């Protein structure tokens, strides 16, 4: 039976280079107080032996864990996974976060937390104690939960608040939801639409309000009415069905609808077809999610592309900088969304091709 190959450890590297364990640790951790010739010597041993630094080795200095913890909403995430409706928020968050962490020798850990739980502090405290992260990424609605942000501030753990522009501790980052909604509405106005409706998201997400604000500002700028053109959902498909039916059953129905999530946009498309409307001739639709599903609808869906990977990547960069003592940005960091035009939007009253 073949013997298992012995793993190369930091001790092997130290012996090969003829230096102390602390010196190897300083090189691995990219600390500034290492002479260039010593760094080259240790790196040569690392390359020769094929040593891969472990988190345990990186923690030898006791100052950093080299872990970034990302928190997402438990109930909504699990519901998306179970329904398998193509939501890719978590995928994109992991893509941006993991790649940026790897560039800097960090690891990204992903945890689900129920923001509405009475035991949120105890649950989060246990996670923090077990992982001892160097930084934490919060996503909506965690990013504006005072129990979570207050606890992280008390423990002096750097944290990023994605989807939050509130004043307070932590690094705020947004994807300019208001600007994206305004741009989407203005594009529909350019296409000649005057009755443009909005299906908003739940009120406990600040992004829901920002998107409604952007829609309202664009409509006001064109002197167009918004009186009965907004219905609220919860980002889910069923709530989109209810909202779309309410909007499209009105006597003076909208000629275009912006839905604040992919599932609600898909629900709008289904309701429109059930009511005998032709897309996009009778109704233009814009999704506020550029998820995989909306790219394969018929017609293909025009969508606001939220830069989830990019904003998470930037959050990781800022947390690593904070860990090194650099001052965080004084104002919210904006990574803007873009509008991807496909076939679900057309000029108002356009004839089919």
The per-residue pLDDT for range 57-101, each reduced to its tens digit, is 555 555 678 899 999 988 888 988 888 877 788 999 999 999 999
Chain centre to alpha carbon of residue 300: 23
- Taking all residues of the chain, what is their mean pLDDT, rounded to a whole number? 90
pLDDT tens-digit series, residues 143-191? 989 989 999 999 999 999 999 998 889 999 999 999 999 999 999 999 9
CB 157 within 8 A of CB 133: yes
Dist. CA 176–CA 184, nearest whole Å: 12
- Predicted local distance difference test score (pLDDT) of residue 58: 54
Domains of the chain, CATH where assigned: 10-61 (1.10.260.40), 67-175+308-336 (3.40.50.2300), 177-305 (3.40.50.2300)
CA distance 11 to 17: 10
Q: Are 143 and 162 in contact (CB under 8 A)?
A: yes
- pLDDT band of residue 125 (cuts 50, 70, 90) is confident
Q: Is the pLDDT of residue 105 over 90?
A: no
**Could you tell me where the beta strands, DSSP code E, fall in 290-337?**
302-305, 333-334
What are the Cα distances from residue 24, in Å, to 11, 34, 49, 52, 149? 9, 10, 13, 12, 36
Q: Are the CB atoms for 68 and 314 separated by under 8 Å? A: no
Confidence label for 56 from pLDDT (cuts 50, 70 and 90)? low
Distance CA 249, CA 279 (A): 16
CA-CA distance, 58 to 180, in Å (whole number)? 41
- Which residue would you say has higher pLDDT here, 96 or 349? 96
**pLDDT per position as a tens digit, 138-151:** 998 889 899 899 99
How distant is the alpha carbon of residue 154 from its chain centre?
25
CB atoms under 10 Å from CB of 54, counted, come to 13
Distance CA 135, CA 130 (A): 14
Contact 313, 97 (CB under 8 A): yes
pLDDT score, position 324: 84
Name the one residue in this structure whose structure tokens are 């009186």.
227
Query: Is the CB of residue 210 less than 8 Å from the CB of residue 181?
Result: yes
């Amino acid at each position: 039976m073949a013997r298992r190959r012995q793993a190369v450890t930091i001790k092997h590297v130290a012996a090969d280079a003829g230096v102390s364990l602390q010196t190897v640790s300083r090189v691995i951790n990219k600390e500034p107080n290492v002479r260039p010739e010593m760094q080259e010597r240790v790196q040569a041993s690392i390359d020769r032996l094929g040593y891969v630094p472990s988190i345990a080795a990186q923690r030898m200095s006791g100052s950093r864990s080299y872990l970034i913890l990302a928190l997402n909403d438990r109930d909504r995430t699990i519901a998306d996974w179970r329904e398998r409706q193509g939501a890719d928020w978590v995928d994109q968050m992991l893509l941006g976060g993991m790649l940026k962490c790897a560039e800097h020798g960090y690891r990204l850990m992903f945890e689900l937390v129920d923001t509405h739980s009475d035991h949120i502090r105890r649950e989060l405290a246990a996670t923090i104690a077990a992982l001892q992260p160097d930084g934490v990424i919060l996503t909506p609605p965690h990013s504006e939960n005072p129990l979570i942000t207050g606890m992280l501030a008390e423990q002096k753990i750097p944290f990023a608040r994605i989807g939050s522009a509130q004043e307070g501790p932590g690094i705020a980052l947004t994807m300019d939801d208001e600007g994206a909604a305004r741009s989407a509405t203005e594009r529909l106005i350019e296409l000649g639409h005057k009755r443009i409706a909005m299906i908003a998201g739940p009120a406990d997400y600040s992004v829901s309000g920002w998107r409604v604000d952007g829609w309202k500002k664009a409509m006001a700028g064109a002197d167009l009415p918004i009186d009965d053109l907004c219905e609220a959902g919860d980002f889910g498909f069923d709530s989109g069905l209810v909202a779309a039916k309410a909007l499209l059953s009105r006597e003076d129905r909208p000629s275009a609808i912006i839905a604040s999530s992919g599932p609600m946009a898909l629900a709008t498309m289904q309701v429109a077809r059930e009511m005998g409307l032709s897309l996009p001739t009778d109704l233009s639709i814009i999704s506020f999610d550029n998820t995989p599903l909306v790219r394969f609808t018929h017609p293909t869906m025009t969508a606001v592309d939220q830069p989830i990977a990019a904003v998470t990547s930037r959050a990781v960069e800022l947390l690593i900088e904070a860990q090194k003592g650099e001052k965080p940005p004084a104002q919210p960091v904006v990574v803007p969304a873009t509008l991807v035009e496909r076939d679900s939007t057309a000029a108002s009253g356009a004839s089919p091709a």
